[in-house]
Every structure is written in C-alpha cells, then in structure tokens.
Amino acid sequence: MKFYDVTDLAIRNLRESVFRNSLTTIGISVGVASLVAMLSLGIGLQQLASSRLQKSGLFNTVVATSRRDLRNFREQREEGPPPAESPALDEPARKKIEQIPGVVEAYPDIRFVTEVRFDDKPYLTMVAGIPFSAKNNNDAFDGMQGNFFSSEAGPEVILQKSFAEELLGMKPKPGADETNIAALAKPLLGKELTMRYSERTSSPSSSSAGPGDSAAYSVVSRQLALKIVGLTDLDPDSMRGTARARVFLPLKLAQDLHIMQSNLRDTAASDSPSYTSLSVRVGNPNQVPAVEDAIKKMGFSAFSLVDATRSMRQFFAVFDGFLAIFGSLALTVASIGIVNTLVMAILERRREIGIMKALGASDADVRGLFFAEAGAMGLVGGAVGVTLGWALGRLINFGTNIYLERQHFPPAEIWSVPLWLVLSAIAFSIVVSLLSGLYPAARAARLDPVQALRYE
Amino acid sequence: MEIPGPNALAVRTANLCRHYQMGEVLVRAVDGISINIGAGEFVALLGPSGSGKSSLLNLVAGLDRPTSGAVIVQGNNLAALSREQLAKHRLHTVGMVFQSFNLIPSMTLLENVELPMRFAEVDRGERSARARQALERVGLSGRLAHRPTELSGGEQQRASLARALINRPKLLLADEPTGNLDSRTGTEIMDLLHSFNRSLGMTVLMVTHEQALAEKYAGRMLHLADGKLVDDVSNDHVPNISSVETPAPRGETP
C-alpha cells in the first residue's frame, strides 16, 4: 500500500472509535508533558546556573602569568621551561594568546592601590581596570545603577556599592536590611572623583637595561578627574578574593596612564610593556582546558576554575537523567495504553482484517496500518503533550517569578523548552508509540483470514 | 460450452489435503481431491455442510494452505508460495464473494470497491473512475455514497461482486453467494455471475448447497462429501438465462 493510503485508512480507523483513541492519545500527551516538564526544568536550571556562572567570569577565564614572577613565592615545580627561560609576558605574547582558538580576548590585569579624593576627603582604595567588553559578559553590570563606561578610554569611573557607602559616610549595619542601591546612586552619579596616581616614565638611560632590572624609570605624581557614571551592587571583581578593587576604570584608560603598579617587575613604560598577568576570556567554558594547555605550552603559567564547571555539568547530567526517568514513567504507562488499545482494536476489527486479507492485503499492509495508527497517536499525543508541558512550564515559571519578586530577587527563567527538546519529545513519543504498536501490528498481520472470516 | 484443453487449465488440484486438529480429533476437511477446472468454466461445488466445499474454495483462493498435495491456479502452485506471494495471488488472480457480503461497514460503496485497488497501489485518479464504472455495471451507480447498512442484501452482494472484479481477476470464487438472499435477488446475483462468466470469459467456482441453482447456471457440478470428491457431473445444457423462471429455493442436498 502507498503511504497516503496507509495514513488515510489509519486515520479512518482512529476516527471510528474516536473516544477510545482520544483517551489513549491523552494518556500519551500526559506522559510526554511530564517528560517535557521534567527535562525543561532540568535544562532551565542548568542554563540559569551556567549563565550566571559564565557571566561571573569565573569559568570562562584563564589567568596567565609569567613564570618569572613565580620564582619568589612558589616552591612547586611546574612543567615547561624553568622560570629563567620563560618568555616575557609582553604585548606580542598577549597578541599570540589572543590567536589561540576559542580565546575571545586577553587583557592585562591592571590594579593598584591609590588615593582618590571625593568632596575634598581622601580615601585609599584598590583601583582596577575593567575591559570595555565586560559590559555584556559580566553580570555585575546587569543590575547596576547609572551606566557602563561610555567609551573605551573615557575619564569615567564605576564604584562598588560598599565604597559608595564609604564616600557618603554611611556605615553598613550588620544584620540590617541592605541599603537601597538606588538611594546611594542618586547623590553620586555624575559627580567628580579625583584620582591621584604615580606615572612611570622611561628615563633616557633605560635603553641599555635588560628586562628584569628595575632601575631605569622615573615616577611622576599626577592626578586625574573622573566622572562617576555607575554604581554596581555585585562585585565585578569576584575572582580576586581578598585583593578586591572597589573603584573601576576603563582598562584602556588605565593602560594609557602608565600607572606604577606596586607588583610590576618590568622596566620600561615604553611601547612594549610586560605584564604581571593577563586575563584570558574564552568564548565557551568547554574550551578552557585547551586554552589553558596552549598557554602553558607557550611557557606561561595558567590557572582556571574549570574543574568546578565540570563537576557542575556532571551534576546536571545526573540530575537530568533522574528527571528523565521520572518523566518517562508516565510515558511508559501511556505506551501500555497504546498496546491495550491496539489489541482491543484487533479483536474488534478481526473480521475487517480478514476481509482485507481476502481482498489481497499483504501482512505488510496490515502491519503498516496498525503501525500508522500507533504512530498517529504518538504524533498527536506528542504534539499535544509538548504544548501541555510548555504551558505547565510557563505557569510554574510565572509562579516562581512572583515568589522571586516578593523575595526581592531578579526574575529568572527556571524553565526552558528549547526547540531540540520539542522536536525530540515528539520524535520520542512517536518512537515509543511505534514500539508499542510492534506487538499488536505483528499480531494483526499474522491473523489467519479463514478464522477471521468464519461466521460468528 | 467449449471443452478446455490441458493448456487452458484455470485450477488443478492433485491429491489435495487439508487436515487440522480439533482437540483430539483430526478433521480431514479436504481429503485427497484431484480436479481440473478449465479456463472459462462455471463450476458449482455441491455438498452438505462440513463436506469440505468452503475449505476447498479457501485453498484455491490462497486464504489457506494445503496440508499436502498441490493446488495450481493459473500455473502457480499455491503450496509453494510465500505469504507475500499468496497475498498477491488473492489480490490479482482471484476475486471473492461471500455469503455475508463482507463489505466494510464504515466505508461507502465506492470506498469499499476502491479498497482492493489501494492494496494494488492503483493511482488515486484511476481508482475512482474504475470503481464507479464497476458499480455502474452491477446497477448501483445511484448508491455510490451509501454505506452497506443502508442497502438491501441484494444490493450489498452486487457491490461485493463489483469489488471482487475490480482488480480484473481471472477467477471468481463465490462462497454461497445467494445464501443470505431471497430467491428473487438470489437469481439476480446468479444472472450477474453468469453474465461475467459469459462476457468476460471468467472462470467461476461457486460453493452452494442449492442443487437447483447449480443445475440452472453451472456447466459442471462437483459433489463433495467428507472432504472427498464423490461426483463430477457435466451439465451440457445450461439453459438460456432469459428463459429461466424464478426457481423455488430448495433445502440442502442430502
């Protein structure tokens, strides 16, 4: 029989006992819906967790340091060339690291302790450079007050909340409600902050000095007026632990100022500075190990927190597995329903099957017909089930967000139904239905026409 | 009627047996039957209930397989065919008509007649035209969209005749085609069978227990009893159809 005829006859047959077949199909829908619901919850939570972590910069960042700087405070020997032969972590090295596949950018870490003046009062704090690209990939700037830097090297500054409190003379009371960041921002945004810093300038005699010597430069004291453009609640510098900065400058600006960094061991403030460490941002956390290896091969030390993401992914794989098993239970029950419905249909249509065989229908024709009926129920059940699961997910998401809002958390998508899940859920439903149709179809195909046609 | 030569055999059986186990008892439904039926013959299978007429018909139809012996239809030994090939045989070589019509109740007459063409994978456009034509030939052109239950027994049997012939088989097998009909409609059906036999040269093998019908229409009568062939009678003067009066129905042949 041609495909059209098989489908046509199958649909006719399904319509003949529409009530029973609808019930069976609803059973499949509920099964698929529960599967989709479980899996999309798992996927949603995973996406939520990994996007939060990714934006924190913890898991897609490799910190590259020159081995020369390690010699004083690290006992442990690492593979690669001994520190003395390790190459300099300079501008050409930075460019080379940026060439590694998967690397989005590599930028120097610039941080220094200095004095800033606000309202004619001096404050001592750690200042750090933030790359312009952080605007879109660091979630510390998602909920910030004011704006991110307007240009790559503008004389602008973003303050961390605790520093803003200090500037305004407020002391955070332990246990009390958190200060409203919007209230903090109001008197600060647009105001001016003066930063004092020491600029290194190369001295003319420095040309003969080799790298590693810290002789040939001079320090000039300078100050710069900066406009406060933003205030952030979260800490964009979370990877640094204790050495956290509370004032942030555009990285390009910080570089151009040639600020004297206390831990910098290189000499020249010339065109090719050498860096203490580089932050290497990788597009996909999965590529972090490869990038780490590549950097180590170049002779630098590399460090990342990727192991943490690996165990997170492992956790979610197991978690999704469990959810899928629970979700599948309902589908298993539904597939037994299909078997039952089709076996009933064989008994009911015994004579009809006999007639079709007498008229010349082959075993394959009869089998195909029952398969098509099972498949059609699977298709419809799958489609309805996915819709049902999706609707259920929206509902739970809606409820969760109301709860999150009450708890003063930003809304979150804990429910995600990607297209691949929709398609594979429907495909899975069809496959399960066809498998359920296997036995009834075989039984119908083997039906003896003489017996089937015997007068009742 | 011309006597068929050996090359024009439609059906040949040689020592054909169909035995089956029914509990402890071995039932010999067909027990060593050897017959030759020439192409274009109109043969009636006569005998009491349980004599093996229907079993023999099912073997020729390819609905059942012999326990032993050969059943050769249009040159093919059905005993040697696969299930798939047997289905093809039922589809193209034979057409069947049953006592209880066996139309599919959920389908209209047109759809019922089209059904064998679906199995034969005939194009959809051609299917409808052929089914209409076939129903017209049996006088049902006004009933195309009716369901079988909306029709009289005679009309249903005519529709099932149209369906049996739709794939242009060489052999028409009829199992008590008039068994569920009153004698007047029974005659109508027999007239149709007769005309197909005459005009299309179609071989007809008909199971009946009505001796009178057989005598009137069949050129040859095979009498069966206990699965064995007991008599093979040629009916040299099959009367002209137009001159026949409505016969009185008769009971089973003793």
With a cut of 60, say whether residue A203 has pLDDT above it.
no
Higher pLDDT, A236 or B201: B201
Closest approach of chain A CAs to the CA of B61, in angstroms?
Answer: 8
Same-domain status, A293 and A343: no
Print burial letters for B226-246: b (CB count within 10 Å at least 16), e (below 16): ebebeeeeebeebeeeeeeee
Per-residue pLDDT at A82 = 54
CA nearest B85 in A: which residue? A362
With a cut of 70, say whether residue A178 has pLDDT above it.
no
CA nearest A450 in B: which residue? B63
Per-residue pLDDT at A254 = 81
Per-residue pLDDT at A406 = 84
Provide the residue ranges of all domains of chain B, joining segments of one domain with +. 1-93+171-254, 102-168
Per-residue pLDDT at A419 = 86
Q: A365–B99: do the CB atoms touch at under 8 Å?
A: no
Q: Alpha-carbon distance A90 to A106, whole Å?
A: 12
Beta carbon pairs, A and B, within 8 Å: 66
With a cut of 80, say whether residue A236 has pLDDT above it.
no
A40-54, A411-425, B30-44, B232-246 — which one is most confidently predicted on average? B30-44
ipTM field: 0.89
With a cut of 60, say whether residue A173 has pLDDT above it.
no
Residue B92: its chain A contacts at CB < 8 A?
Answer: 360
Residue B58: its chain A contacts at CB < 8 A?
Answer: 450
Residue A358: its chain B contacts at CB < 8 A?
Answer: 61, 63, 90, 96, 98, 102
Per-residue pLDDT at A294 = 86
Cβ atoms within 10 Å of A20's Cβ, excluding its own: 15
Same-domain status, A247 and A181: yes
pLDDT tens figures, A279-289:
888 877 778 88
Instruction: Tell me which residue of A134, A131, A153, A155 sits closest to A144, measured CA to CA.
Output: A134
Bridge-based pairing state of the strands A103-108 and A277-282: antiparallel
Same-domain status, A234 and A319: no
Contacts of B249 (CB under 8 A, 6+ apart): B183, B186, B210, B212
Mean pLDDT of A423-435: 91
SS3 of chain A: the string is CCHHHHHHHHHHHHHHCHHHHHHHHHHHHHHHHHHHHHHHHHHHHHHHHHHHHHHCCCCCEEEEECHHHCCCCCCCCCCCCCHHHCCCCEHHHHHHHHHCCCEEEEEECCEEEEEEEECCEEEEEEEEEECCCHHHHCHHHCCCEECCCCCCCCCEEEEEHHHHHHHCCCCCCCCCCCCCHHHHHHHHCCCEEEEEEEEEEECHHHHHCCCCCCCCEEEEEEEEEEEEEEEECCCCCHHHHHHCCCEEEEHHHHHHCCECCCCCCCCCCCCCCECCEEEEEECCHHHHHHHHHHHHHCCCEEECCHHHHHHHHHHHHHHHHHHHHHHHHHHHHHHHHHHHHHHHHHHHCHHHHHHHHHCCCCHHHHHHHHHHHHHHHHHHHHHHHHHHHHHHHHHHHHHHHHHHHHCCCCCCCCCCCCHHHHHHHHHHHHHHHHHHHHHHHHHHHCCCHHHHHCCC
Of the residues A304, A322, A348, which one is the last residue of a structural domain? A304
Among A352, A360, A450, select the one facing B87 at the smallest CB separation: A360
Per-residue pLDDT at B248 = 43
Q: Using an 8 Å Cβ cutoff, are A95 and A108 in contact?
A: no
Mean pLDDT of B173-201: 91
Contacts of A83 (CB under 8 A, 6+ apart): A67, A68, A70, A71
Closest approach of chain B CAs to the CA of A454, in angstroms?
Answer: 10
What mean pLDDT value characterizes chain B? 88
Per-residue pLDDT at A331 = 84
Same-domain status, A247 and A373: no
Structural domain range at position A253: 62-304
Class of domain B1-93+171-254: alpha beta
Same-domain status, A110 and A170: yes
With a cut of 90, say whether residue B65 has pLDDT above it.
yes
pLDDT bracket for residue A358 (50, 70, 90): very high
Same-domain status, A265 and A358: no
Per-residue pLDDT at A177 = 53
Mean pLDDT of A159-180: 70
Closest approach of chain A CAs to the CA of B103, in angstroms?
Answer: 8
Strands across the sheet with B220-225, in order? Answer: B94-97, B171-175, B203-207, B42-46, B220-225, B228-234
Q: Using an 8 Å Cβ cutoff, are B116 and B91 in contact?
A: yes
Mean pLDDT of B174-183: 92
Among A9, A360, A364, select the one facing B90 at the smallest CB separation: A360
With a cut of 70, say whether residue B241 has pLDDT above it.
no
Mean pLDDT of A66-84: 52
Per-residue pLDDT at B110 = 95
Domains in chain A, number: 2
Q: B104–A352: do the CB atoms touch at under 8 Å?
A: yes
CA nearest A445 in B: which residue? B83
Closest approach of chain A CAs to the CA of B140, in angstroms?
Answer: 20
Higher pLDDT, A226 or A283: A226
Higher pLDDT, B69 or A197: B69
With a cut of 70, say whether residue A455 has pLDDT above it.
no
pLDDT tens figures, B94-139:
999 999 999 999 999 999 999 999 999 999 989 999 999 999 999 9
Same-domain status, A345 and A276: no
pLDDT bracket for residue A139 (50, 70, 90): low
Closest approach of chain B CAs to the CA of A435, in angstroms?
Answer: 23
Of the residues A272, A304, A336, which one is the last residue of a structural domain? A304
Q: Is A120 left (phi over 0), alpha (psi -120 to 50) or beta?
A: left
Q: B102–A355: do the CB atoms touch at under 8 Å?
A: yes
Closest approach of chain B CAs to the CA of A286, in angstroms?
Answer: 54
Report field, pTM of the whole predicted structure over 0.80: no
Whether B104 has its CB under 8 Å from any CB of chain A: the answer is: yes
Same-domain status, A180 and A231: yes
Among B83, B91, B124, select the one facing A363 at the smallest CB separation: B83
Q: Which of A24-38, A144-158, A175-189, B23-37 has the lowest mean pLDDT?
A: A175-189
Residue A442: its chain B contacts at CB < 8 A?
Answer: none
Q: A359–B100: do the CB atoms touch at under 8 Å?
A: no
With a cut of 70, say whether residue B3 has pLDDT above it.
no
Q: A359–B58: do the CB atoms touch at under 8 Å?
A: no
Of the residues A304, A324, A359, which one is the last residue of a structural domain? A304
Same-domain status, A291 and A235: yes
Residue B115: its chain A contacts at CB < 8 A?
Answer: 356, 359
Chain B interface, best mutation among A16, A359, A365, A455, by max B CB count within 10 A: A359
Q: Quick one: what percent of chain A has pLDDT higher than 70?
A: 79
pLDDT tens figures, A2-54:
899 999 999 999 998 899 999 999 999 999 998 888 888 888 887 777 776 66
